[in-house]
């Protein structure tokens, strides 16, 4: 059985994961509108992944005797300036999510809820991967600079990141 404090913290994370899905969906739509099909597909996949994270939390809360809440979300912005700025925001957002997960893990230790602590270790590992991927993408973007040919190749290559991660990442 979840404590009320932990149930609230988990529900707060449900909202963060839902908002993340919406942010990445907005980024995907923006990129698609700019003709950046590879980046758009990558961001659509990121949006789907965040939704999966949210659903995993919802099911866990309900299975542990809590009551998962679906809350209202603030609309994400829909203009990101440049694809470089967009990926900087992606990294900043992933760092925010990591901080939130870490705080949630801290609450599990305070509440001595080791089952939830164990469950959240998947999220801890996932966030390490998400931040590393965002940093790797930003490194590539910095290499490109303002080269339009480089952007074309990057847009094409980022589809491989999406395809490869889908092929090697087990869906839970």
Task: Say if residue 50 carries a ligand binding annotation.
Answer: yes
pLDDT score of 164: 57
Q: How far is CA 165 from the centre of its chain?
A: 14
The pLDDT profile of the chain, 172 residues, written as one tens digit per residue, is 899 999 999 999 999 999 999 999 999 999 999 999 999 999 999 999 999 999 999 999 999 999 999 999 999 999 999 999 999 999 999 999 999 999 999 999 999 999 999 999 999 999 999 999 999 999 989 888 878 888 888 888 887 776 555 444 444 4
Q: How far is CA 94 from the centre of its chain?
A: 6
CATH architecture of 4-168: Up-down Bundle (1.20)
Task: Say if residue 92 carries a ligand binding annotation.
Answer: no
Question: Helix or strand or coil: residue 85?
Answer: helix
pLDDT score of 160: 77
pLDDT score of 11: 98
Task: Say if residue 131 carries a ligand binding annotation.
Answer: no
Closest CA relative to residue 35, chosen from 171, 170, 151: 151
């Amino acid at each position: 059985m979840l404590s009320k404090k932990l149930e609230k913290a988990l529900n707060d994370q449900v909202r963060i994961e839902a908002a993340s899905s919406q942010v990445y969906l907005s980024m995907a739509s923006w990129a698609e509108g700019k003709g950046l099909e590879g980046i758009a597909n990558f961001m659509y996949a990121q949006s789907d992944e965040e939704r999966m994270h949210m659903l995993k939390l919802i099911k866990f809360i309900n299975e542990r005797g809590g009551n998962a809440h679906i809350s209202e979300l603030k609309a994400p912005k829909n203009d990101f300036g440049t694809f470089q700025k967009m990926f900087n925001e992606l990294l900043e957002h992933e760092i925010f999510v990591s901080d939130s997960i870490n705080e949630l893990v801290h609450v599990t230790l305070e509440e001595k809820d080791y089952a939830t602590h164990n469950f959240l270790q998947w999220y801890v590992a996932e966030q390490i991967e998400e931040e590393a991927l965002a940093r790797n993408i930003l490194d590539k973007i910095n290499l490109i600079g303002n080269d339009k040919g480089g952007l074309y190749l990057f847009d094409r290559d980022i589809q491989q990141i999406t395809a490869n991660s889908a092929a090697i990442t087990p869906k839970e």
